[in-house]
Chain A
């Protein structure tokens, strides 16, 4: 077995040194009734060639985004990842290191996480960010729980524009952690009266910007109303690249930002691993979940970095911790940091502009098709269409023609008939004019 360096001779010598006859003696504490004598009914060891062949065959049965005109978003976006990103994150010193609990031999990880925290704070317009969480959906649930702790209230309002998975994750946590949610129904393109739901018992209001349907809104007034009532405003961002073009949540008065960072540096990966971003105001930092890296000095007075404020965390506080989280998304955060370092200020703004331009170019084509109506007044790189027929079969038909057209809203709300005709479509810098022409042609034919 290529990954096991002990030889049979090593094993014999080591057993002898230990003073036992066989390996079985070292497993003697296992109750006899629970010992497996033979091998389980699973395949035997395979060489690299065989494993590669078997798994590649499975990969070949999927339609990869790069092989077709591709217009799917909904919280996971296909962007170009510069070659340097994947090269650098595969350096063994990053890939095969542990959580930086020994700072003297982990300054590399700690420094990039400090850079990552700074980048996230700047992008979101917030004062402070943590070193990442699992994904945007769990970050959203953590944001609500943090708001509960900060306000000592127990009831929150979720906008109908929130990604349905984020809403569902919040609902699961609410049931078991013990807090209340008022979740509004989806209303693509429409307004909703969130302000009217803010009361003296509201911990937070959660909105998404751009929302799940692509609409961009100014939440400054809602922030003011929340703050007047002693409640917090949580802003969710599922397309972090949008913040290269639109006003960040921090400028609108957000108290906590929970976001998905996959768009920068990270592949679609069928939905995971992705990258939870989490930012807030300075004064709330001691109630933040997850790891934080802070600046300090070593005994020689040189600047360095450590994990800090760990008295919030489970390995110190156990049942009194602010969250049970241990693992973050370190390597995904590194990919994000490198991609954003490559882009820089100018590159990020240009990439965001390219995305917006692609979406504008696409809607100009699609709006020409009879039976297609744009739902949005505003959008960044994603918008919702109301089709003249249910969207799910259209998407299936287009997939058969080799176009991945978007997300039928019925996949999330199969029991709401008024949502059946809604199709959510994204266009990034990866969509070519040819891809868009093809989409327009195939959609027109399918709807006709």
Chain B
């Protein structure tokens, strides 16, 4: 069983504030316990399904200018940068 502290730690790393322990921690713990069923699948020796693609199949490495309007639509857009809160 994964500890509640560990889930809280991950939540913090994901920048999630926990305001309801039953909804956010207990249920996540219950879901992770359910995922333990994967241990029974006996797939250790299974190869991962990898899709191969040759370089010829990829699109051309062409410069496509981005749409300035998309950037201008952002909040706190200051002409050449986006304002964000201070990093501590």
Q: Are A and B subunits of one complex?
A: no
